[in-house]
Amino acid sequence: MFDFFKKNKKTLTIDENLKIFVDFHSHLLPGIDDGCATLDESVENILELQSQGIKKIITTPHIFSEAYPNTPEIINEKLELLKSVLAEKKIEIEITAAAEYYLDEWFCKNYKNLKLLTIKENHLLVETNYMEKPYFMEQILFDLQLDGYKIILAHPERYNYLLNDFRQFDKFFDTGILFQCNLLSFTGYYSPQIKKAALHLLKNKMIHLVGSDIHKLRHTKAISAFKKTNEYSELLNLGLMNNELW
């Protein structure tokens, strides 16, 4: 038993090359989704991310027809506004924007006619309802892949419909969907069950990417504490793809 604790106390070392300097999932543009409400909040969060070693940010407001009907125009306007404030305050960080697309019937019907905001050419960040698996999920993911998109599934560990049997993750993983876990999931911030699912994915090396998914400063601060843990080192030692997305 004592050996067990000793083993867990050992701090894992991280190769400099494995450190993450790109964060590509967050809600930092003010007032257009459930993330930062004001420019001041946006700046506070960005400074906190910067203090954690993040040098490049791709922020991803929700595009969700029912709740946040954002468009590339709305997103780009807010991005430019934020960039001008960062420049005024002489905060040196690279920031751009894409989106987190909510897969609903509206999206399925309309996506072919939309200019989708992608990350690094053709990566598309998507999410679904947390409780119920959409009946069209496999089909839309397949169609998007056929259309040439590389799908990043945001926080697979947070979908209730996958948590009753972790083998359900394999089906999506095996079709080439990229899994992006939220850093906060490993801390138990959302729920013990979500933490268990995140640790399952970590143990089975089924994580391609991690994201902060920050909405508020309390998230960003909680992530700072997590970055000092062995689980975070274990995650980095998987050799995540984050830095390739810039």
Residues that bind Fe ion (CB under 5 A): 100, 213
Q: Which residue is nearest to Fe ion (CB)?
A: 213
Of 144 and 180, the one with the shorter C-beta distance to Fe ion is: 180
Neighbours of 237 (CB within 10 A): 14
DSSP β-ladder status, 94-97 and 100-102: unpaired
Asked if 168 and 136 touch (Cβ cutoff 8 Å), the reply is no
In degrees and rounded to multiples of 5, residue 178 shows phi and psi of -85, 130
Of 48 and 213, the one with the shorter C-beta distance to Fe ion is: 213
Task: Supply the minimum distance, in Å, between the C-beta of residue 224 and Fe ion.
Answer: 19
| Closest C-alpha among 205, 156, 147 to residue 179 | 156
Cα 2 to chain centroid distance, Å, stands at 37
Of 144 and 154, the one with the shorter C-beta distance to Fe ion is: 154
Q: Which amino acid is at 235?
A: L
Query: What is the C-alpha to C-alpha distance for residues 228 and 41, in angstroms, rounded to an integer?
Result: 24
Q: Which amino acid is at 229?
A: T
Task: Supply the minimum distance, in Å, between the C-beta of residue 54 and Fe ion.
Answer: 16
Of 129 and 233, the one with the shorter C-beta distance to Fe ion is: 129
Of 128 and 169, the one with the shorter C-beta distance to Fe ion is: 128
Task: Supply the minimum distance, in Å, between the C-beta of residue 154 and Fe ion.
Answer: 6
Task: Supply the minimum distance, in Å, between the C-beta of residue 71 and Fe ion.
Answer: 18
DSSP label at residue 167: T
Task: Supply the minimum distance, in Å, between the C-beta of residue 83 and Fe ion.
Answer: 21
Task: Supply the minimum distance, in Å, between the C-beta of residue 22 and Fe ion.
Answer: 16
Of 18 and 74, the one with the shorter C-beta distance to Fe ion is: 74
Task: Supply the minimum distance, in Å, between the C-beta of residue 69 and Fe ion.
Answer: 16
Element (H, E) at 142: helix 137-146
Residue spans of beta strands (DSSP E) within the chain: 22-23, 56-59, 62-63, 94-97, 100-102, 123-127, 150-154, 178-182, 209-211
Q: CA distances (Å), 191 to each of 7, 215, 221, 234, in order?
A: 26, 17, 18, 21
Of 184 and 202, the one with the shorter C-beta distance to Fe ion is: 184
Q: CA distances (Å), 73 to each of 34, 79, 229, in order?
A: 18, 10, 40
